Amino acid sequence: MKPEKQETARPAVKTIETVLEEFLADQHTRLKAGTLRKYGHIIHLFQSSLNNYAYQYLNKTESKLFDRFYHTKGEEHREFCQIFGPEKIPENVGEFLNYFMVRKVLCGKELKQSAGTVVKKLGRWLQGKGYVGRENGAEIASSGATATHELPATEELLQLLVE
């Protein structure tokens, strides 16, 4: 009897990068230009957070896949968002809102509040498109709604401590 071939893990067909581009394209029809730019900025920050921190939470098989593409030179090189699909978004929203936006992004209250709003909309959109399940979509949206209030408050606290 021949041993079964083990299937090699491959990057997602529909990557996080592709899904986030689709999200922004869908927002283009309903948002004013200034608001759309803000959404684009937040999505760029979210991708940066994912590309720089999300690999830490991968299982062994996923880590091997990530390492294979991330540590490759040239055209074969891929970032986290170019390897994994939208199923990796829910588990990384907390890192983005509670760590990255607080400790890594220097901005005012308005942009921090916008981050919560964009994440809330993203959660609902991901669920509506079927990229994440109902529970995950609701959890992302809830995290975004909470961040809409808490992130600006952290900025106010920081300003008080500085003064």
* Contacts (Cβ under 8 Å, ≥6 apart) of 117: 144, 148
**H-helix or E-strand spanning residue 123:** helix 109-129
Does position 70 have pLDDT exceeding 60, yes or no? yes
What's the rounded mean pLDDT across residues 60-73? 96
Question: Quick one: pLDDT at residue 154?
Answer: 75
Does position 1 have pLDDT exceeding 90, yes or no? no
pLDDT digits (tens, 9 = 90+) for 20-61: 999 999 999 999 999 999 999 999 999 999 999 999 999 999
Does position 116 have pLDDT exceeding 70, yes or no? yes
What's the rounded mean pLDDT across residues 133-158? 87
Question: Quick one: pLDDT at residue 149?
Answer: 86
Mean pLDDT estimate for the chain: 91
Structure tokens at 58: 């991968």
Cα–Cα separations (whole angstroms), residue 88 to 12, 93, 122: 11, 9, 13
